[in-house]
A and B are shown apart, each in its own frame.
Chain A
Amino acid sequence: MKPILVLLTGLTLLAADSEIASLEKYTPAERRHWSFQPRKQIVPPAVSGTTNSIDAFIRARLQKDNLQPAPAADRETLIRRVTFDLHGLPPTPQEIQAFVSDASPDAYTKLIDRLLASPRYGEHWGRHWLDVVRFAESDGFEYDTHRHDAWRYRDYVIHSFNIDKPYTQFIHEQLAGDEMNPRNEVMRIASGYNRLGPLRKNAGNQEVASSRNEVLTEMTNIVGASLLGVTLGCARCHDHKFDPIRHTDYYRMQGYFSATFDEDVPLTSEEVRAEWKKKTDTLTAEIKEMQQQMKKLTGSAKEEMGKKVKATEAKLPAPLPSLFSTANDYEKATPIHVLARGEYTNKGAKVGMRPLGVLLPPDTPELPSDTQNPRMKLADWISDPENPLTARVMVNRIWGYHFGRGIVATPNDFGRMGTRPSHPELLDWLANQFVEGGWKVKPIHRMILMSETYRQSSESPIEDTAMTKDAENKLLWKFNRRRLEAEEIRDASLTVAGRLNEKAGGPSIIVPIDPDLTNFLYKPSQWAVTADAKEHNRRSVYLFQKRNLRLPFMEVFDSPDLQISCPRREQSTHAPQALELLNGDFANAMADSFAKRLEQEAKDNNTRIDLAYLLATGRHPATKEKAIAQQFLASGSLREFALAILNLNSFLYVN
């Protein structure tokens, strides 16, 4: 292969030294793996009956298997599909009506433009990225300390999608914002990316080297998973078993982070901070004193003291705002060694910094370990237009969220154990479009959404034949129906019930939960419910993401575990979901509000049924459905009817 451009300036060949790991060789066969090859210049195939490039690729492949695409989805289906797809919310009856009755030829283009221009778009697509980078707002482990300012990173991501920030800029800011401009708040917030992983802290004797190794591991692995689509983490203990990533490659990648440390940049003046510290120290000392006394007390005196402790704790001032960021400290930089079995005590040869060797010309030297602004150099290499992975990985993610399956079905793994692309030429063509278009995401959405492949029905007239040839619908002979994600179910329920609070951004919301559940926390007091009840109806992306306590509602519907990168949500089906939607507090609160809304906005059962279907499923009820509903409402309650609607397939699935 033609090795990609090497952006290593000021190369210093390290002297041959037994202490320094030698440069590995990669066989031609290893270099030939498809995703390491440069992208090809692709001309879409000529297929009669279409001028759309995406459709041409898809149809040419379908024709090989003698399959045809499904007919176009109807407009009601389409607007519900694309609104959930871009906003994670249902369309309103008015929006549906407007689209269905818009006879202009560009009705659909206008719809897409409207959806992409709305701030709701970033809230939904930002959520996808937050999955990939395992965003959470607490440390995990024993203390699970809250990261009070991590929400700023969440808002940064949402805003970046909304303004269609070029992806290369997005990469640079996250990997190296603090190096690019340490005085710029946005840059500092973005580089919080480097410290999003779980963090173990413990009392007592500190194993500094061990903890540092854990931090460096998190920083390194996430670059492989989120930006490069390689399972870099597999090479931490030994050479990668399947991909040409050597043990030394792993540590050379880690080299870029050797000087990176967490930094909370204060947003308040020194005086304010001094005042805060004074108050906190005084109260903490008082609490300690009381706790000491408490040990000697018994019975009611002990209880009394316990109450006093709690009251004093409540007086502790809220944490001062700061930026959750990183910074280089070259003097404290960790010397990076190849670690046998990944153990920090098992130090092998020393390494500098270098990207993955299999993508570089043979014998490309390392950068020395004291290189300044190292993460910027890594970002440069990752965003190089000739990097074979970066653009492919990102357009594949976009495609995957639109269709329910990537062209490569394993979005975080473009290696040998990952799946091969179903449409390799389409992947390269899309990636080329992405790069040539300045790495902007919205034009890629437009291209995909405008295709007939995207607009086809999720039901095919050739279902039976097609199932025998391509049961997994890899070739897209129909659209993939999908279940709503956990956040979509919650947000759509709030919308349908007329309770959604559309307020955007700001500190995360802690909603009330069953007190028995906070009992599963080591420190139940951490679950400090947001005082203003209106805030509890905010979109799910604004809910506090706590590693040691996810909302059961989210958990049963396959929300990510917040510990490791989640490239693709599961869609499991099991009884606890039914219990949550039938008996859960949230579902029942929504049913109450939904019933009240139906009562207020429609005057009889007939119109209430119509309205319920329109709001929740985006369509009118069929005659049969209406008859069943009428029969139920003749004796049953409107509230139970509302609950049933929020349990329907037509509500929970998108066609």
Chain B
Amino acid sequence: MSEHLRWTRNRREFLTDAFCGFGSLAYASMTSQSIAHATTVNPLAPKKPHMPETAKAKSVIFLFMAGGPSHMETFDPKPLLNKLDGQKRPAEFGEAKYQFIKDNALLMGTKRTFKKYGQSGIEVSDLFPHQAEVVDDLCIIRSCQGDMVVHSAAQYQCMTGRIIPGFPSMGSWITYGLGSESESLPAYVVIPDPKGALEAGSPMYLNGFLPAVYQPAMLRPGNKPVLNLDLPSGVSLGDRRKTIDLIRHLNEAGMVGEDPEFAARMSAYDTAFRMQTEAPEVFDISRESAETLEMYGVNKEPTDDYGRRCLLARRMVERGVRFICVVSGGGPGNLQWDAHEDIEENHPRMASQTDQPVAALIKDLKRRGLLDSTLVVWGGEFGRSPEAEGGKGRDHHNLGFTSWMAGGGIKGGTVYGATDDIGLQVTENPVHFRDLHATILYQLGLNQDALSYMHQGRKERLTEVHGNIVKDIIA
């Protein structure tokens, strides 16, 4: 069947397309051969990856450092930059375009100090003492690149591969490719920073032209993290069960014979009910041990918020959630990693909120045997300029910056790629967002070309044309 027809509604299509719910109901698992014979197939049922032999990861946790953390203050030490502090950039380093600072800007050294850690001896700055402890599990990619130097467009590219809104996010693509392992939780969850939204807004996380079944659940701060999961006041769970039964009985009374579409609708109500009763358990971290809570920095500042959200990510991975994005930074730029005014005020503050929880997540996944099957990615939509902005800050910089990957079959304790001696340009092994996306898909056993969706005359993919799989970092 042509993919063009995926939105036409008829019985046969309901077998392949329209089945409901966040949860994988007890339907036949879908393979291309079985579609024609299965009676009902849930589009969120777990699917076999294209390349089961290379698939290492089952879930992805994206620790999104919104606003753009500086590579020079974190994972990419630049002694020469300190020497050139206060000088104009020497011509041999080439050109860069920034959003705010002009050509007359002066280079700025860093106040951070770097030390070698772990068996690998990788250098990490004093902003991240906790991540330094797990550096042997990390693959530091010092050669990341994007095309845009403004937040909104760069965030779209980081999440969807495109610099404009309207395209599906990687979370939606991956859910489309692999389905969900969870029966009562959403397959794809975004846990935004409660301090506020980001420049690109919710379109960067959304399903774009993919069916609404692949949209993310956006968790909200407070006691009601999932929209509409709580009963209206004055209605008991028993009442609600009765109402759902009434809906079922009235629907069945009006039906003639079998009707897969209506059966799907009723299953959606059952899934909804199950979510109401079962999902709240995942949000209740009170049964975690005191040691675990302490490790994540829960119940103490400034780590409580990000610690809770990282812990929640681990709990969701345990329950089969496919893709979780845990955002650090939200609201005005200075509450993100967007250190225009003063890098020495912004980065220590942002690092103090996230460093311990991030390291705890790695340690916790590892000791539970989940790190091998969970790909953890850390990074922002760009890095920061070697030049100073307004004397103490740094502007955006997309030509070379650092992200890291861990677990999910990635070689820990390695450094990949490099920038020049002032952190301006990539000098070896560039990794564009599309390469990062291709590599994430590859670790999940998904073929970037096969994971496509026909949309208005084009076979759309996450990697648009093609991304390079960074094979050198795969264990």
Query: Which residues of A pack against B, CB within 8 Å?
Result: 140-142, 144, 198, 200, 202-205, 207, 214, 225, 231, 233-234, 242-243, 404-405, 409-410, 412-413, 415, 417-419, 459, 467, 471-473, 480, 482-483, 514, 516-517, 519-522, 524, 547-549, 552, 555-558, 561, 563-565, 567-580, 582-585, 588, 622, 624-625, 628-629, 632, 636-637, 640-641, 643-644, 647-650
Contacts and interface: CB of A to CB of B under 8 A. Distances in A.
A628 B276 CA distance: 25
Given A574-B21, A625-B254, A207 B202 contact: no
Determine the main DSSP class of A at the interface with B: loop
A205 B100 CA distance: 5
A412 to B, nearest CB: 5
Contact of B165 (A563, A570, A584, A637): A563
B33 interface: no
A632 B102 CA distance: 72
Contacts of A548: 201-203
Nearest to A516: B220
Contact of A522 (B12, B201, B249, B456): B201
B250 A648 contact: yes
A622 B254 CA distance: 8
A648 B197 contact: no
A628 B250 contact: yes
A200 B456 contact: no
Interface stretch (B56-64, B208-216, B424-432): B208-216
28 contacts: A140-B203, A198-B165, A200-B153, A205-B100, A404-B8, A409-B8, A410-B456, A480-B9, A517-B227, A519-B221, A520-B218, A521-B197, A548-B202, A558-B211, A558-B212, A563-B164, A572-B211, A572-B212, A573-B265, A575-B268, A575-B271, A578-B269, A579-B276, A583-B231, A628-B250, A629-B250, A636-B243, A641-B246
B9 A404 contact: yes
A140 B212 CA distance: 20
Given A142-B199, A404-B9, A549-B201, A649 B256 contact: no
A574 B254 contact: no
Closest 9 CB pairs of A and B: A231-B457, A563-B166, A548-B201, A578-B272, A142-B199, A204-B100, A142-B152, A575-B21, A579-B228
Contacts of B451: none
A205 B11 contact: no
Given A140-B165, A520-B202, A471 B2 contact: no
Contacts of B206: 561
A622 B253 contact: yes
Contacts of A404: 8-9
Contacts of B268: 573-575, 577-578
Nearest to A629: B250
Given A140-B165, A571-B7, A632-B246, A625 B253 contact: yes
A521 B21 CA distance: 27
Given A140-B203, A142-B150, A580 B165 contact: no
Nearest to A579: B228
Interface string B225-254: 001111110010001101110110111011
B99 A204 contact: yes
Nearest to A237: B465
Interface string B92-114: 00000111101000000000000
Given A419-B4, A520-B201, A548-B203, A472 B243 contact: no
B421 to A, nearest CB: 25
A480 B10 contact: yes
B232 A583 contact: yes
Contacts of A552: 227-228
A418 B196 contact: no
B46 interface: no
Interface in B1-43: 2, 4-5, 7-13, 18-23
A472 B152 contact: no
Given A404-B9, A583-B228, A649-B251, 4 more contacts: A516-B224, A561-B165, A576-B227, A628-B253
Contact of B246 (A243, A410, A516, A636): A636
B71 interface: no
Interface string B252-277: 01111000011011001101100110
Contacts of B321: none
Given A141-B199, A142-B199, A203-B99, A574 B212 contact: yes
A564 B228 contact: no
Contact of A516 (B102, B151, B222, B251): B222
Nearest to B212: A572
Tell me which of B192, B201, B255, B275 has the highest count of chain A C-beta atoms within 10 A of its own C-beta: B201
Given A519-B220, A579-B272, A580-B228, A205 B5 contact: no
Contacts of A419: 2, 4-5
A575 B246 CA distance: 17
Interface string B138-181: 00000000000011110000000000111000000000000000
Determine the main DSSP class of B at the interface with A: loop
A547 B166 CA distance: 10
Contacts of B209: 561, 564
A201 to B, nearest CB: 9
Nearest to A557: B212
Contact of B264 (A563, A565, A573): A573
B474 interface: no
Tell me which of B198, B213, B220 has the highest count of chain A C-beta atoms within 10 A of its own C-beta: B213
A419 B4 CA distance: 7
A537 B7 CA distance: 30
A473 B10 CA distance: 7
Contacts of A636: 239, 242-243, 246
Nearest to B150: A202
B153 A567 contact: no
A214 B152 CA distance: 14
A622 B253 CA distance: 8
Tell me which of A225, A233, A552, A563 has the highest count of chain B C-beta atoms within 10 A of its own C-beta: A563
B166 to A, nearest CB: 3
Contacts of B153: 141, 200
Given A472-B10, A516-B222, A625-B253, A579 B5 contact: no
B473 interface: no
B454 interface: yes
B202 A644 contact: no
A564 B199 CA distance: 19
Contacts of A521: 197, 201
B367 interface: no
B275 A579 contact: yes
A230 to B, nearest CB: 8
A617 to B, nearest CB: 9
B212 A556 contact: yes
Contacts of A522: 196-199, 201, 331
B458 interface: yes
Contact of B228 (A204, A519, A571, A584): A584
B9 A482 contact: yes
Contacts of B467: none
A413 B262 CA distance: 31
B194 interface: yes
A574 B4 contact: no
B200 interface: yes
Contact of B265 (A225, A243, A637, A649): A649
A519 B212 CA distance: 22
A418 B22 CA distance: 31
B22 A561 contact: no
B256 to A, nearest CB: 7
B67 to A, nearest CB: 12
B254 A573 contact: no
B253 to A, nearest CB: 4
B166 A409 contact: no
Given A471-B10, A471-B12, A582-B272, A576 B228 contact: yes
B271 A578 contact: yes
B185 to A, nearest CB: 11
Contacts of B152: 141-142, 200, 202
